[in-house]
């Protein structure tokens, strides 16, 4: 769901850069440095997830895992995702450096939102934990798709069709991400529940 270089207008790029910088600053301030390793692992999981492509007709989409990263890291998800996006741009040409701010907002913004909405649910256990995990995973992808659409349409209304196609293509990914996040959260709560409390500490 990366936006490539040379597509967005300067005001959209500038706005995304400012919002991303503010989010990274807040995330670094809230990051508990005792959990640097866990943050790095989740950043790596986000990085690798984009390499697993799922065929959708003539095209393909990929897992994002921003909902899971957000649930566990909270605001620290912004720098974690930002670093992963930077490395993806540098090593694989996904997105690009000029759109790094916008892409960070697209991926990390929903991660923070689902943390604020469902972060407490996953620490409660039981059915609420499962529902919170599924909703966080699926809604994070949905919100990322909406932010991509807003960025494209904010640049030029001619991108309306493209924005609609992106949203439609990611409906299956929303469901898959919801299931993956739900089961991952359930597994972690059984084997290493302290990980789910990182964002609270």
Q: Which residue matches tokens 């499962």?
A: 130
More confident residue, 62 or 35: 35
Least confident segment among 56-60, 62-66, 172-176: 56-60
Mean pLDDT of 189-198: 83
More confident residue, 35 or 129: 129
Pair 88, 110: CB distance under 8 Å: no
Work out the percent of the chain whose per-residue pLDDT is above 90: 51
**DSSP result, 63-112:** ---HHHHHHHHGGGHHHHHHHHHHHHHHHH-SS-STTHHHHHHHHHHHHH
With 60 as the cut, is the pLDDT of residue 14 above it?
Answer: yes
Handedness of CA 81, 102, 168, 50 (dihedral sign): negative
Six token digits for residue 119: 């972060």
Mean pLDDT of 174-190: 93
> How far apart are alpha carbons 19 and 190 in whole angstroms?
36
Could you tell me how far CA 50 lies from the centroid of its own chain? 11
Could you tell me how far CA 6 lies from the centroid of its own chain? 22
pLDDT in the model for residue 58: 34
**DSSP result, 19-75:** HHHHHHHHHHHH--GGGHHHHHHHHHHHHHHTTSEEEETTEEEE---HHHHHHHHGG
* Angle, alpha carbons 149-150-154 (nearest 5°): 120
Mean of all residue pLDDT scores within the chain:
87
Work out the percent of the chain whose per-residue pLDDT is above 70: 92
Rounded to 5 degrees, φ, ψ at 123 are: -90, -10
> How far apart are alpha carbons 188 and 196 in whole angstroms?
7
Per-residue model confidence as pLDDT tens digits over 70-103: 999 999 999 999 999 999 889 888 778 999 999 9
Domain residue ranges of the chain, discontinuous segments joined by +: 10-200
Tell me the whole-structure pTM to 2 decimals: 0.89
pLDDT band at 123 (very low <50, low <70, confident <90, very high): confident
* Close Cβ partners of 117 (under 8 Å, ≥ 6 residues apart): 135, 136, 139
Check residue 96 and give left, alpha or beta (phi > 0: left; psi -120 to 50: alpha). Answer: left
- Range 10-200: architecture per CATH: Orthogonal Bundle (1.10)
Q: Which residue matches tokens 């990611």?
A: 170
């Amino acid at each position: 769901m990366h936006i490539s270089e040379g597509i967005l207008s300067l005001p959209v790029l500038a706005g995304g850069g400012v919002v991303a910088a503010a989010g990274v600053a807040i995330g670094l301030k809230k990051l508990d440095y005792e959990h640097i390793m866990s943050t790095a692992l989740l950043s790596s999981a986000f990085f690798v997830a984009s390499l697993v492509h799922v065929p959708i007709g003539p095209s393909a989409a990929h897992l994002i895992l921003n909902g899971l990263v957000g649930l566990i890291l909270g605001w620290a998800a912004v720098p974690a995702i930002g670093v992963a996006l930077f490395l993806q741009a540098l090593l694989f040409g996904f997105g690009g450096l000029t759109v790094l701010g916008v892409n960070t907002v697209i991926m990390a913004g929903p991660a923070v939102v689902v943390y604020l909405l469902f972060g407490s649910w996953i620490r409660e256990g039981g059915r609420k934990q499962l529902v919170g995990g599924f909703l966080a995973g699926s809604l994070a992808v949905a919100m990322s798709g909406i932010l991509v659409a807003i960025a494209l349409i904010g640049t030029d209304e001619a991108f309306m069709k493209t924005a609609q196609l992106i949203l439609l293509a990611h409906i299956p990914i929303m469901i898959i991400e919801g299931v993956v996040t739900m089961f991952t959260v359930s597994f972690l709560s059984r084997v290493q529940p302290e990980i789910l409390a990182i964002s609270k500490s």
